[in-house]
Chains A and B, each alone.
Chain A
């Protein structure tokens, strides 16, 4: 065991002593987003082999169409949920309640719209959307309060809302599926703006905002410091409690926007099934993107790649005609392979076999 420890330390030193920039290819491979991006490209190329016109994007009636656009559009909700999840995970927490929040957001919006006299009224829809997002922010505040102020372990604190939230969503819809017929609401998921699908624009805008706020201000660094060591950060004068609450609120609002998209896609709200298991996909996306679940380090770009990777995987399963019974198996295999190639220990094992990587002990 001590030998393994020493070896690992040695590898770390060796890594840092290697001249940087002299070998572009090796640096590229060592970049922490290399493997997820490579996997994403591999999946896309694999799709091309099965569907010749996979990369084709055409402009029809001033709207962009194509398989790649579909992946972006269908991946937008997951990307948003994963985006919020990244912030929470950066603080060393986790949010299991996002799936329930997705359901609640769609439920409240649809319930409000269904009571409008004119479901096509833009103003009424905006009010409904604003109410839904406000409720989601409140739910995030609740999670943040439990974790940051009461001090409950995040997985349990958010488990409460995960269980109760589904009930709340069904309570709002009265236990039924609410159908709405509202063109402005439908536009959230199916509309186009300047030829680009609206959900893609919304997702891109939110990603840009979060990336700017976290990386162009101290906010991201403060989040990482709270995730690294909450106690030390507080002693250093950082208001970790407030930061934790902000992270959970942001996560819930992102999930709320995703919930609007999900329910808008089908113009209905289903308290039971909307956003089911999206929390697992979101956490997976975040981790594939190189963010540690232990907190203290996060990558927005990684999360975007991770979310796209998962959605591409889902699409691939359909396009290459894998029977629905074994889709989960396929997913498991891909996740395992991806985790293994990403694991430094796995790569080290292979590198050691090669003579170039020998260490003079």
Chain B
């Protein structure tokens, strides 16, 4: 048998696009985003300003970080409903500690550690006691929101000089600026993308999501991986909470309500399957961009009442998901 004959037979339908099947959902999302952006540019004056795109990142840096953590969890086939509550709890704890005069250098690690610990707790519960992720993290959500209200039922302002300075800092590049939060979020995205694509742990995450039994029989450390992803998600929520506290300069139990759904939506719009094992971090970034773009378009439209806004967000989401579905189906 010659080398040539051992190659796979050519697909019967000639491929017009040299695109691998596994990148299809992400590519579809990217194409649709471009279309949406184009629509915005055509319809609204001033939409083409690069700062508009940067503003999407500025307004959604915390969501991006949280969605990165959620991506890890969803890739293993789990789900984390506690993220919004943990974000709120972090803003609350940060505000409380700063109010009591703790130095920023101590508050930051404490906030991150708290998020990771909550995630670790849920991971242990899910792995060792086989509690369904949805329920374990729902309990985590009740716990974190409950702690928020136990700390205070009102909003606590932050006037720590370090916090205020970071919050107001603008990094100018050319004629445009971003905030430190955006920088942090991008670093988190890069690290996470590297970990998922090029490390053993990253492969473990995909393997566990693809088929836990096979992963276990292959000798992969399923338990460790599963616990680790919830810890990572908790850590990301903690960091997201810190970024939100920069953005809001306050801690409040009602901050980030419903954020878990935004994060899940971003991950899924980015082409990651909720059943686990398939998806890319780039998709999650695009998913966050979609949500941000929808918000921006609605802001530019400007004359919508609050209920029409909700209906339009739903409609946009619907059109987007159906188009994405149609695109990926046709080219299968």
A interface residues with partner B (beta carbon < 8 Å):
1-2, 5, 96, 146, 150-153, 155-157, 159-171, 175, 271, 280, 283-284, 287, 292-293, 324-333, 335-336, 339-340, 343-346
Contact = CB atoms under 8 A, between A and B. Distances in A.
A170 B306 CA distance: 9
B314 A328 contact: no
Contacts of A96: 261
A1 B219 contact: yes
B219 A332 contact: no
A151 B13 CA distance: 24
Contact of A339 (B135, B261, B264, B318): B135
12 contacts: A151-B329, A153-B273, A155-B264, A161-B314, A167-B314, A170-B306, A287-B135, A328-B149, A329-B146, A331-B142, A331-B146, A332-B146
A156 B321 contact: yes
A5 B216 contact: yes
A335 B132 CA distance: 12
A96 B223 CA distance: 29
A163 B147 contact: no
Interface string B190-219: 000000000000000000000000001101
Nearest to B315: A164
B222 interface: yes
Contacts of B131: 339-340, 343
Contacts of A160: 314, 317-318, 321
B145 interface: yes
Given A160-B318, A280-B138, 20 more contacts: A1-B221, A2-B219, A156-B268, A159-B264, A159-B317, A164-B313, A166-B307, A166-B310, A167-B306, A167-B310, A170-B307, A175-B306, A284-B138, A287-B134, A329-B142, A331-B146, A332-B140, A335-B142, A339-B129, A340-B131
B307 A335 contact: no
Nearest to B122: A336
A157 B321 CA distance: 9
B6 interface: no
B322 interface: yes
A346 B130 CA distance: 8
Given A325-B153, A336-B125, A171 B308 contact: yes
B322 A150 contact: yes
Pairs A-B, 5 closest by C-beta atoms: A164-B314, A167-B310, A328-B146, A329-B146, A170-B307
A253 B269 CA distance: 28
B142 A287 contact: no
Given A168-B311, A175-B307, A153 B129 contact: no
Contact of A153 (B81, B128, B268, B313): B268
The SS class assigned to the A binding surface is: helix
A332 B142 CA distance: 5
Nearest to B305: A175
Contacts of B325: 150-152
B132 A293 contact: yes
A323 to B, nearest CB: 9
A101 to B, nearest CB: 13
B150 interface: yes
Contacts, number: 142
Contacts of B268: 153, 155-156
A327 to B, nearest CB: 7
B307 A271 contact: yes
Contacts of A271: 307
Contacts of A344: 130
B129 A340 contact: yes
Contact of A163 (B222, B317, B321): B317
A328 B132 CA distance: 20
B139 A326 contact: no
Nearest to A345: B130
A347 B329 CA distance: 45
Contacts of A287: 132, 134-135
Contacts of B309: 167
B76 to A, nearest CB: 14
Interface string B116-139: 000000000100111110111011
Nearest to A175: B307
B322 A343 contact: no
A96 B219 CA distance: 37
Of the listed residues A159, A324, A346, the one surrounded by the most CB atoms of chain B closer than 10 A to its CB is A159
B253 to A, nearest CB: 9
Contacts of A292: 132
B104 interface: no
Contacts of A169: 307
Contacts of A170: 306-307, 310
A219 to B, nearest CB: 25
B306 to A, nearest CB: 7
A150 B321 CA distance: 10
Contacts of A1: 216, 219, 221-223
B139 A339 contact: yes
Contact of B265 (A156, A333, A345, A346): A156
